[in-house]
Amino acid sequence: MQTIAHWLDGKAFAGTSEATAPVTNPATGAVTGQVALAGVADTRAAIDSAAKAFPAWRDTSLTRRTQILFRFRELLNERREELARLITAEHGKVLSDAIGEVSRGLEVVEFACGIPYLLQGGYTENASTKVDIFSVRQPLGPVAIISPFNFPAMVPMWFFPLAIAAGNTVVLKPSEKDPSASLWLARLWAEAELPAGVFTVLQGDKVAVDELLDNPGVKAVSFVGSTPIARYVYQRGTAAGKRVQALGGAKNHMVVLPDADLDLAADAAVNAGFGSAGERCMAISVVVAVGGSADALVGKIAERAGTIRTGDGTRGADMGPLVTRAHRDRVAGYIAAGESAGATVVLDGRGVEADGAAEGFWLGPTILDHVATDMSVYTDEIFGPVLSVVRVGSYDDALALVNANPYGNGTALFTNDGGAARRFHNEVEVGMVGINVPIPVPMSYYSFGGWKNSLFGDAHAHGADGVRFFTRTKAVTTRWLDPSHGGLNLGFPQNK
């Protein structure tokens, strides 16, 4: 039984709080560790450490900062499988998926290696006679990152590479369900010679989050998690005068028009619906079958989903367990609710025979057809391997359905009609859109984020928005002239 600690001032720190939470291996059901839960005093110590490290890090040259980032990138690339194994052991996702997660995080590190270019300001010569103006981007100070269980490495990496590259110091508060990846990343930063205090890991729950939101030492908060908590974090953090970006939950629709390649669409629905057991914020949870091809489409999806091997992620299964027993039971409850509300259970994952320990948190792929929009399987974010099929008559009905949904994270259209595709990406009220691409996660040099209840704030993650979020601009007006040009003038400065 291991104890999973904090990381403070460049080393592991047990904390002063007595509180802990169990960490389980979802494939075996066994408790594998106890994670420390920070109290207010530990949280203040983390913020103080980040504040102390900030002035020297802000003044560290871009050349030196970039060298450290490149070293971190090399180490992460070499050891990505080691990190992926830690993720599988606490999250449950299969190893290949965990490696994919690390790779997508690595892309943001690579983007952040371009920080000298990304921080470039503007310069205008002779804006007024012999007056020049330039703008610079400066870091904010200590910033907090609060992350969810479903991507314990990638989601923190959406933020911290850019935050650190831009000269901020970071306090990461990971999910208490799978906390080990964050400590591993902290050790890697130390190996890459990041100065102590620039990257801190604070293990904890609501107690730590509330102090991070209220404490004036924290200048900005990047949050990812469920919509109710995202809304809360946004409101409390902005009330305390902070810059906050809070990414929330999702209900992602995949619209399939009758002219689509149904085999391609069925492959996509299964991959995006059941990958990572549906525990992805960009998972497809609703297939919107338009027109007469619905029966054929559902048949093809069911045929493919029936071949998925559910089991221990270290043994070559396609799909792993859910993260906790409570979550597994909650998702199974949704299947029962859908069934009793009149949905047709085409494939039922509740009795799955998994390749793994009997105590694992197993639930196989499930497909519900003829789902109505007032059923809880449609209205709620389930976050499990449950694909609902809603049948509609036309493109307009499908668009209206997607736009009426309170979430707006991701969506996809499957079609061979370029005109329909163009209309869709123009008209749909969702932040990330795929055309014949089911999980349209933008590359690191674009920004990631949803609309409506899927994101609170005005900055998306990484890309140009990330650079803007972690810096503030300053405009400097300069005049260097000989003293004879002086003299009194109380008027408002005007250009000459």
Shortest CA distance to 203 belongs to which of 10, 9, 20, 50?
20
Q: Is 83 in the site for ligand NAD (CB under 6 A)?
A: no
Task: Give the residue with the Cβ less far from ligand NAD, 25 or 147.
Answer: 147
Q: Is residue 226 a contact residue for ligand NAD (CB under 6 A)?
A: yes
* Per CB under 6 A, 237 contacts ligand NAD: no
381 binds ligand NAD (CB under 6 A): yes
Q: Is 146 in the site for ligand NAD (CB under 6 A)?
A: yes
Residue of 48, 205, 214, 259 that binds ligand NAD (CB under 6 A): 205
Of 16-24, 218-226, 256-264, 269-277: span binding ligand NAD (CB under 6 A): 218-226
Q: Quick one: which H or E segment has residue 8? A: strand 6-8
Distance of CA 216 to the CA centre of its chain: 25
Q: What angle do CA 220, 224, 225 make, to 5 degrees?
A: 135
491 class by beta-carbon count within 10 Å (0-12 exposed, 13-18 middle, 19+ buried): exposed
Query: What residues from 248 to 267 belong to the interface with ligand NAD (CB under 6 A)?
Result: 248-250
DSSP string, 402-463: HHHSSEESEEEEE-S-HHHHHHHHHH---SEEEES-SS-PPPTTS-B--EETTEESS--BSH
CB-nearer residue toward ligand NAD: 72 or 149: 149
Q: Which range touches ligand NAD (CB under 6 A), out of 14-22, 131-139, 149-157, 488-496?
A: 149-157
Least CB distance from residue 209 to ligand NAD, whole Å?
A: 4
Cβ 60 to ligand NAD shortest distance, Å:
29
Q: Whose Cβ is closer to ligand NAD: residue 212's or residue 467's?
A: 212
- 178 near ligand NAD (CB under 6 A): no
- Please report which residue ranges of 15-121 form alpha helices under DSSP H: 40-58, 62-78, 80-91, 95-112, 115-118
Q: How many residues bind ligand NAD (CB under 6 A)?
A: 27
Structure tokens that stand for 53 in this block: 């490290």
Using alpha carbons, list the distances in angstroms from residue 24 to 34, 40, 224, 279, 482.
9, 25, 22, 17, 72
Please pick, from the candidates 229, 256, 287, 302, the single residue that binds ligand NAD as defined by CB under 6 A.
229
From the list 200, 192, 194, 198, the residue with the least C-alpha distance to 174 is: 200
Are 285 and 252 in contact, with CB atoms under 8 Å apart?
yes
Interacting span for ligand NAD (CB under 6 A) from 104-112, 171-179, 253-261, 464-472: 171-179
| Helix axis angle, 395-404 to 418-427, nearest 10° | 20
- The token pair at 216 is 């004036």
How many residues are given for the chain?
496
- Which tokens go with 4? 């999973």
Q: Does 383 bind ligand NAD (CB under 6 A)?
A: yes
Q: Which of 150, 203, 245, 411 binds ligand NAD (CB under 6 A)?
A: 150
Contacts of 136 (CB under 8 A, 6+ apart): 119, 121, 473, 474, 476
Reduced to 3 states (helix: H, G, I; strand: E, B; else coil), residue 152 is coil
End-to-end CA distance of the chain: 73
Tell me: does residue 155 bind ligand NAD (CB under 6 A). yes
Residue 64 binding ligand NAD, by CB under 6 A? no
Interaction of residue 409 with ligand NAD, rule CB under 6 A: yes
How many CB atoms within 10 Å of residue 468? 18
Q: Work out whether 26 is an interface residue with ligand NAD (CB under 6 A).
A: no
- The CA angle 330-336-338, to the nearest 5 degrees, is 105
**411 in contact with ligand NAD (CB under 6 A):** no
Task: Please tell me whether residue 247 binds ligand NAD under the rule CB under 6 A.
Answer: yes
User: According to CB under 6 A, which one of 26, 313, 450, 457 is a site residue for ligand NAD?
Assistant: 450
113 is annotated as an active-site residue: no
> Is the distance from CB of 386 to CB of 353 less than 8 angstroms?
no
Instruction: Kindly tell me which of 139 and 179 has the beta carbon lying closer to ligand NAD.
Output: 179
224 binding ligand NAD? (CB under 6 A)? yes
Q: Least distance from C-beta 161 to ligand NAD, angstroms?
A: 17
- Out of 38, 95, 186, 281, pick the active-site residue: 281
Coil, strand or helix at 495: coil
Among 76, 201, 209, 354, binds ligand NAD (CB under 6 A): 209
CB–CB of 181/83 below 8 Å?
yes
Contact with ligand NAD (CB under 6 A) among 25, 147, 285, 447: 147
Residue closer to ligand NAD by CB (options 99, 441) is 441
Interaction of residue 182 with ligand NAD, rule CB under 6 A: no
Here's the x/- map for ligand NAD, 289-318, by CB under 6 A: it reads as ------------------------------
So which residues are the catalytic ones? 281
Which residues here bind ligand NAD, judged by CB under 6 A? 146-151, 155, 173, 175-176, 205-206, 209, 224-226, 229, 247-250, 281, 381, 383, 409, 450, 454
